A = this chain, B = another copy of it.
Amino acid sequence: MQRTDFGEMACSIARTLDVIGEPWSPLVLRNIYVGITRFDQLQQTLGISRKVLAERLKWLVERGVLERSEYSSRPPRYEYALTPMGSELCDLLLVMVRWGDRWLAGEAGPPVLYRHHACGQISHVELTCSVCGEPMHATDVDVLPGPGSSDIA
């Protein structure tokens, strides 16, 4: 894609995109999250090219989002698992799901439901403020320069 280097921008969005902004990366993450952890399984369920899948997995492992581990030594076989860093990235997937369900699901309704362990109910994520606990959306905040700031105001 001849990518501009997002990783060097002074913006956490750009830096996050540098890790999972490539096409397919979030879907790879989703599949590993739901238990599809092996190369051929991922390739078949996603319909991704093997070449690109190999590249993405390597990238995600290097960035610390995934861990590659041997589940059989002879013959050598590997599987991929989420690191803590990767698990937290899955929160992003939940928010994507929420938005897709609301705006793109159509008449058929959401393709997947989520049951919350704590209450046992089918629900979805809500964004709240870490300080006061009230809802916190993009329209509810002021944007201020922080310590690591440089470009965007």
Interface string of A82-99 (1 = CB under 8 A from B): 000101111111111111
Tell me the bound Cα distance from A47 to B11 in angstroms.
14
Q: Interface extent on A, as a size class? A: 35 or more
Measured CB to CB, the nearest residue on chain B to A36 is B152
Chain B residues whose CB sits within 8 angstroms of the CB of A45 once the complex forms: 151-152
Q: Is the CB of B128 within 8 A of A93?
A: no
A10 to chain B, nearest CB (A): 4
**Interface residue SS majority, chain A:** mixed
Chain B residues whose CB sits within 8 angstroms of the CB of A129 once the complex forms: 116, 118-119, 121, 123, 125-126
Q: Is the CB of A12 within 8 A of B104?
A: yes
Chain B residues whose CB sits within 8 angstroms of the CB of A108 once the complex forms: 147-148
Q: Is the CB of A111 within 8 A of B23?
A: no
Q: Is the CB of B12 within 8 A of A96?
A: yes
User: 13 extra interchain contacts, Cβ-Cβ under 8 A, other than A1-B1, A93-B138, A111-B149?
Assistant: A12-B96, A12-B100, A13-B96, A17-B27, A33-B138, A94-B138, A108-B147, A112-B152, A115-B141, A116-B141, A117-B141, A118-B135, A126-B127
Residues of A in contact with B (beta carbons under 8 Å apart): 1, 3-4, 6, 10-17, 19, 21-23, 26-27, 30-31, 33-34, 45, 47-48, 64, 85, 87-106, 108-119, 121-153
